[in-house]
Structure formats: C-alpha cells, structure tokens
Structure 1
Amino acid sequence: MTVAKRSAGLVVMRQFDGQWRCLVLRAYRNWDFPKGQPEPGEELLQAALRETTEETGLSELELSWGEAYRETEPYSKGKVARLYLALSRQGDVTLPVSAELGRPEHHEFRWVPLDEALALLPPRFWPILSWAHHKVSDENP
C-alpha cells in the first residue's frame, strides 16, 4: 500500500467592511488555497504556515480558531490536502517569485466571499469552505 501524498495549507480569512472573505490563488485556470508539501520532518501545520508565507507574502497569520483542520477527499492519484483556518488582519498579498520556478507560483489572487469561493474552487474544497463558514460565523476573533 502506498502512502498518500500530503499537502498542507491555510484557508486565510480577513474581514472587509464587516464581511468575511477568504484568499484564493490562481495558477493557470485552477483556483486553490495557499498550500504545499511538507519538508522532511516538518509538521503539517508548520508546512501550511510556511507555504502560505512563501506563496502570498503574508506572515502575520493568527490561528484564531485553534489548530483544527479539515482534509480533502483523496484526489489526483491519492493526494490529500489538509487545511487549517487562519486569520490575516493586515498585510498586502504579494505573489513572490519561486526560487524553483523562476517566476511566481500563482498568476492572480483574490479576497472573495465564501459563496464566490465555492464557484471558483474545485468541489473537493466545498466541505472545507462550509466548515470555514461555520467557524467564522460562530466566533469573532
């Protein structure tokens, strides 16, 4: 039995004019959350925080809703993505150049309401968006 490939990332939330929005990134035609594979020996939460900073330039992220997470169903040859919920109160999103690629990993970013994220993101993320919606609606960090 092969071990599933793991990735870890964040559903980054921020309030704009009293409305919660999440950060989504586009690479080519595909929308996604900031995420990536852990480095050897790296915990998934640390990988999620590192990848998000590398892909967006955001570094002052808060785990205001704790360290709970949700995972996608296996996709793309058994890959599973674990996503944590994070709060970004400040900072501008940038799309830094990846040292490996020699260009930014993503082409565009958007802060979108959760219902708009449903329309952009693939169905494997829909249960995670629902979870995030309930978390941010129930508590106000």
Structure 2
Amino acid sequence: MLSSGVVIVHRNAVAQSARSTAAEPQWDCRVLLLRAYTYWDFPKGGVEEGETPFEAAKREVREETGLVDLTFDWGEDFRETPPYARGKVARYYIAETNSQAVVLGVNPLLGRAEHHEFRWATLDEAIRMTVPRLQPIIAWARQLTGC
C-alpha cells in the first residue's frame, strides 16, 4: 500500500551581522512535523482511487494542516521509504510555504483530528524526532533545499 505526503519547508531570512561577508542569504529553515500518539511524521495519507500520488499528497496536506499555498519548486520529484507496517511504503515530495498557520483538520471517519500536535522543526530536530525510516527523506530534503 502506498501513502503519499509532503516535506513542507518554511524559510525565514536570518539577519546577517555587519561583519558578515557572506554573499548568500542565510536561512532559518523549518519543516512541518505532525504528531499522532508518540510518532512524528510529515503530512501524508493514502492514495484514493482515481488520484495520482502527487494529487493525494497535496490533498492530504490540505486536509491535515489547512495549508494551501504550497510551491513545488522541485516538481514531482519524490523519495520513498522502505516498506514498513505490513508492507506500507510512504512517498514524499518537497514543497515550500510562506505560511506557518497550521490548522489540524478533523478526520470525518474519526470524528476528531488525526494528529495531536504540530511543530515547525529544524532538520536537525526532525532527525531526532522521527523514526529511522525517515532519515533518508530528511537528508534528501536537506540536499535539495540547501537547508
């Protein structure tokens, strides 16, 4: 079974000191993590019939977080986790957002929010907070985004 999700990146420019000689802007990059019980993960969910995995990923973000202003500068490039939990595979895309206003949506089947909390985490924090199968996804996001 395939689930599809998005590593959502939010960047803030960091003020450089007057003595800094860096020509490149410095960024404070954060990724959105959602917690269900004790597990932190990126927004994701199942691919519905008639839907592409990319469409499913965007829908899941909208349903689980309320975020709609995603830009997919890296297109539909993705990475997948190794199989876990009875052969499930999670596919992740990368997008950026200018918004940090997350609203944990209510799952109509559950009658409550699917997640207990959200956090905008640095990539280093994300590595510490998530399960090992997500480590290659986080490394890929770091490489692609330059965060």
Instruction: Tell me, yes or no, whether TM beats 0.5.
Output: yes
- Residue in structure 1 matching 2:67, options 58, 61, 73: 58
User: Are 2:88 and 1:79 aligned?
Assistant: yes
Work out whether residues 81 and 91 of structure 2, in 8 Å CA contact, stay in contact via their aligned partners in 1: yes
Q: Which amino acid aligns with 1:51?
A: E
Q: Which amino acid aligns with 1:72?
A: T
CA distance in 2 between counterparts of 1:135 and 1:110 reads 21
> 2:36 aligns to what?
27
CA distance in 2 between counterparts of 1:57 and 1:121 reads 22
CA distance in 2 between counterparts of 1:90 and 1:74 reads 32
Q: Tell me the CA shift for residue 60 of structure 1.
A: 1.1
Q: Secondary structure at the match of 1:13?
A: strand
- Residue in structure 2 matching 1:113, options 114, 118, 122: 122
Q: Deviation digits for residues 28-67 of structure 1, max 9, x if unmatched?
A: 1111110000110100000000001100000111101221
> 2:107 aligns to what?
98
User: Are 2:46 and 1:37 aligned?
Assistant: yes
Q: Secondary structure at the match of 2:34?
A: strand
Structure 2 length normalisation: TM-score?
0.88
User: Are 2:4 and 1:8 aligned?
Assistant: yes
Q: Secondary structure at the match of 2:136?
A: helix
CA distance in 1 between counterparts of 2:100 and 2:83 reads 33
Q: Tell me the CA shift for residue 91 of structure 1.
A: 5.1
- Structure 1: gaps of 5 or more residues: none
- Structure 2: gaps of 5 or more residues: 15-26
CA distance in 2 between counterparts of 1:100 and 1:62 reads 29
Q: Secondary structure at the match of 1:8?
A: strand
> 2:132 aligns to what?
123
